[in-house]
Homo-oligomer: A and B are copies of this chain.
Amino acid sequence: MSSRSIRIGLCGFGVVGQGVFDHLNKKRKALGALLGADMSVTRIAVREKGKKRDVAVDEGIITSDPISIATDPEIDIVCELMGGTNTAREVTVAALKAGKIVVTANKALLCDHGKELLSIAQQYGGHVLFEASVAGGIPVIKAIREGLVINDFSSIYGILNGTCNYILTRMANEGLSYQEILVEAKELGYAEADESLDVDGIDAAHKAVVLAYLAHGKWVDFKNVRLQGIKEVSQEDILFAKDNGYAVKLIAVVNRERGGKALHVSVLPTLVERRSSLGSVDGVFNAVSIHGDVVGETVYIGPGAGRHATASAVISDIVDAAKLLIFGGPEGRFPFLDSAPKNGGGIDIARPDEIHSRYYVRLVVMDQPGVMAEIASILASHKVSLASVTQKEVPEKAERASLIITTHLTTEEAILRAVADLEGLTILEEKPFCMPIGTIS
């Protein structure tokens, strides 16, 4: 075995940081034998020194200054596990400018600053590795980047947020409302105190942006991701799904449109077939379905978050980083780690009229004559064709009724305009709820 030492600095020592530290220590010998080099965490930056932790650490290696780790010439690999996008960016930039390899699980950071960070890495001969940023412990980034390297990716669909999938699964299994499940999910630790990053789809959108970059080499601006969370999903939607062989899932989509020239990235509640690869994935699990032009569809399912699963992914990046340091060739760098395999230069963002799907629309309307006629005429004016209309029988004296419409294939532009027109109707008692049906393309 070589006597080479690989020295890792952890910036951030919360749940994931402690997991990485713990698992690296426990398997230090096996990893050393694998690499022919000793790997160890030699410095750790924490927010609060002296805090009680789950793992025992020599206080001498702890600092409250992460930048000092990023710039420490004795550190080879910097693990950014702090979260947030301000200090995390400063630390990552400082480490890259010092020529180090940065391993991060931070999808928000990548979404907001990925382009800049990879460009700095390239300039200074470093790398940014981020297997843990999408789908937690599932090695889906390695699959896209290496295992499926010959493929172009016409579409990628993902359940990328475990909290949302947990809530939707329990809503379906127990017939409870979003609010009821959320309260319990928080008590159980399946949802954060501030749940909005998760339930509003923001976290999933960050991950979709990372996937889009990996698959197509283009950093899509977050504002170009059409985004809706799960707050408006009701028991009526869940019941309709069950009755019709579907499940409601929060689905991230990364699709090529316009003959491959335009990219469509969205995160939306979606009716997916219950028996499909994503429709049957329940609970906190994540799943990614990848359609490659050579291989066809491959599907990856597993834990999308949590101390151990995330640590597993972070450590796979650390080992890859160590390989680069030990074996890295000319100028010590692998060009394909710094650039996505595909050239995203000429790709546009798809326009709403280029995005095709069937849609589900739920309307809460006054129970009075002429309602259906008004709705139907608005849909017709946008050339949206009805596939089904369901109104459950209501009691004689009820003043409102839920009307559920499914459409034939139409465009996102047509359905959004139609829904906007429907919103203007005085017969509507609530904002309409609309979601795509099946996979969107």
Interfacial residues, chain A to chain B (CB-CB below 8 A):
23-24, 27, 30-31, 33-36, 131, 137-139, 142-143, 146-151, 275, 277, 280, 292, 294-303, 308-309, 311-313, 315-316, 319-320, 323, 326-330, 334-336, 341-343
A329 to B331, CA, bound (A): 11
Q: When the two chains form their complex, are residues B23 and A294 in contact, meaning their CB atoms are under 8 A apart? A: yes
A148 to B277, CA, bound (A): 22
A79 to chain B, nearest CB (A): 14
Q: When the two chains form their complex, are residues B277 and A149 in contact, meaning their CB atoms are under 8 A apart? A: no
Known: A139-B142, A323-B336. 11 other contacts (CB 8 A): A27-B150, A137-B292, A139-B146, A151-B312, A275-B280, A294-B308, A297-B302, A299-B300, A299-B302, A327-B327, A327-B328
Q: When the two chains form their complex, are residues A312 and B150 in contact, meaning their CB atoms are under 8 A apart? A: yes
A279 to chain B, nearest CB (A): 10
Instruction: Considering the complex, give the chain B residue whose CB is closest to the CB of A131.
Output: B147
State the 7 A-B residue pairs at the shortest beta-carbon distance, nearest first.
A139-B147, A327-B329, A298-B302, A295-B312, A137-B295, A299-B301, A150-B315
Contacts of A323 in B (CB 8 A): 334, 336
A100 to B269, CA, bound (A): 51
A432 to chain B, nearest CB (A): 34
Q: When the two chains form their complex, are residues B142 and A143 in contact, meaning their CB atoms are under 8 A apart? A: yes
A326 to chain B, nearest CB (A): 6
Q: When the two chains form their complex, are residues A343 and B297 in contact, meaning their CB atoms are under 8 A apart? A: no
A34 to B146, CA, bound (A): 11
Contacts of A327 in B (CB 8 A): 327-330, 334
Known: A327-B329, A330-B327, A341-B30. A320 touches B138 (CB 8 A): no
Q: Which of A23, A36, A299 has the most CB of B within 10 A?
A: A299
Contacts of A34 in B (CB 8 A): 149, 335-336, 341
A219 to B302, CA, bound (A): 28
Contacts of A330 in B (CB 8 A): 326-327
